[in-house]
Amino acid sequence: MRLLSRKASCNTHGQDSSYFLGWQEYEKNPYDEVKNPKGIIQMGLAENQLSFHLLESWLAKNPDAAGFKRDGKSIFRELALFQDYHGLPAFKQALVDFMSEIRGNKVTFDPNHIVLTAGATSANETLMFCLAEPGEAFLLPTPYYPGFDRDLKWRTGVEIVPIHCTSSNGFQITEAALNQAFEEAENRNLRVKGVLVTNPSNPLGTTMTSNEHNLLVSFIEAKKIHLISDEIYSGTVFTSPGFVSVMEILKNRNYDKFSEVWKRVHVVYSLSKDLGLPGFRVGAIYSNDEMVVAAATKMSSFGLVSSQTQYLLSAMLSDRNFTKKYISENQKRLKKRHGMLVSGLQKAGVSCLKSNAGLFCWVDMRHLLRSNTFEAEMELWKKIVYDVKLNISPGSSCHCTEPGWFRVCFANMSEETLELAMQRLKSFVTEYNRINNSNKESSAKNSRRRSLTKWVFRLSFDGADRQPEER
User: What is the Cα–Cα distance from 417 to 410, expressed in whole angstroms?
Assistant: 10
Confidence of residue 412 (pLDDT cuts 50, 70, 90): very high
C-alpha torsion 246→247→250→253, nearest 10: -90
Within 8 A by CB and 6+ apart from 175, the residues are 215, 219
Instruction: Name beta bridge partners: 390.
Output: 41
User: What CA–CA distance (Å, rounded) separates 3 from 334?
Assistant: 50
CA pair distance 172, 189, nearest whole angstrom? 27
Tell me if the bond preceding 241 is cis, omega within 30° of 0. Answer: yes
Catalytic residues, by residue number, are: 145, 230, 232, 273
CA–CA gap between residue 382 and residue 407 (Å, rounded): 14
Q: CA–CA distance from 220 to each of 75, 174, 193, 225 (Å)?
A: 47, 14, 9, 5
Percent of the chain with pLDDT over 90: 77
What's the pLDDT score for residue 369? 95
Collect all residues with Cβ–Cβ distance below 8 Å to 310 and sequence separation of at least 6: 87, 88, 90, 91, 116
pLDDT at 72 over 70: yes
The total number of residues shown for the chain amounts to: 471
With vertex at residue 442, the alpha carbon angle to CA 439 and CA 443, rounded to the nearest 5 degrees, is: 85
pLDDT in tens, 334-347: 999 999 999 999 99
CA distances to 79, 92, 94, 121, 175 from 88, in Å? 10, 6, 10, 21, 42
Q: Give the number of other CB atoms < 10 A from CB of residue 433.
A: 13
End-to-end CA, the chain: 95
pLDDT of residue 439: 66
What is the pLDDT, as a whole number, of residue 457?
A: 45
3-state DSSP call for residue 212? helix
What's the average model confidence in pLDDT over 88-93? 94
**Given its phi and psi angles, is residue 213 left (phi above 0), alpha (psi -120 to 50 degrees) or beta?**
alpha
Q: Stretch 143-153: mean pLDDT, rounded?
A: 93
How would residue 461 be classed by pLDDT, with cut points 50, 70 and 90? Answer: very low
pLDDT above 70 covers a percentage of the chain that reads 91
Predicted pLDDT of residue 28: 93
> 195-205: per-residue pLDDT in tens?
999 999 999 99
Q: Which residue has the higher pLDDT, 459 or 163?
A: 163
Cis peptide bond N-terminal to 63, omega within 30? no
Alpha-carbon Rg for the chain, nearest whole angstrom, is 27
Angle at 201 between CA 101 and CA 248, to 5 degrees: 40
Domain spanning 65-323: which CATH class is it, in words?
Answer: alpha beta
pLDDT band at 441 (very low <50, low <70, confident <90, very high): low
Q: Count CA within 13 A, CB hemisphere, residue 109.
A: 28
Closest CA to 363 of 345, 381, 378: 345
**Three-state DSSP class for 389?**
coil
Asked if residues 265 and 250 have their Cβ atoms less than 8 Å apart, the reply is yes
- Strands 137-141 and 114-117 come out as unpaired
Which of 74-78, 128-132, 170-174, 401-405 is least confident? 74-78
User: For the chain, how many helices (H) and strands (E)?
Assistant: 17, 15
132 within 8 A of 194, measured Cβ to Cβ:
yes
Is the pLDDT reported for residue 394 higher than 60? yes
Coil vs helix vs strand at 202: coil
- Does the pLDDT of residue 71 top 60, yes or no? yes
Q: Which of the pair, 7 or 109, is modelled with greater confidence?
A: 109
Average pLDDT over residues 29-58: 94
Dist CA 139 CA 367 (whole Å): 31
> Rounded to an integer, what distance in angstroms lies between the CA atom of residue 7 and that of residue 96?
36
Beta carbons within 8 Å of 340's beta carbon, 6+ residues apart: 410, 415, 418, 419
pLDDT band at 75 (very low <50, low <70, confident <90, very high): confident
In the prediction, which pLDDT does 4 show?
83
Average pLDDT score over the chain: 90
For the domain bounded by 6-52+332-429, which CATH number is listed?
Answer: 3.90.1150.10
Structural domain boundaries of the chain?
6-52+332-429, 65-323
Q: Rounded distance, CA 132 to CA 454, Å?
A: 68
CA distance 176 to 159: 21
Strand ranges (E), 12-89: 41-42, 69-70, 73-74
Q: What is the pTM of this model?
A: 0.89
Q: Beta strands of 2-151 (E only): which ranges?
A: 41-42, 69-70, 73-74, 114-117, 137-141
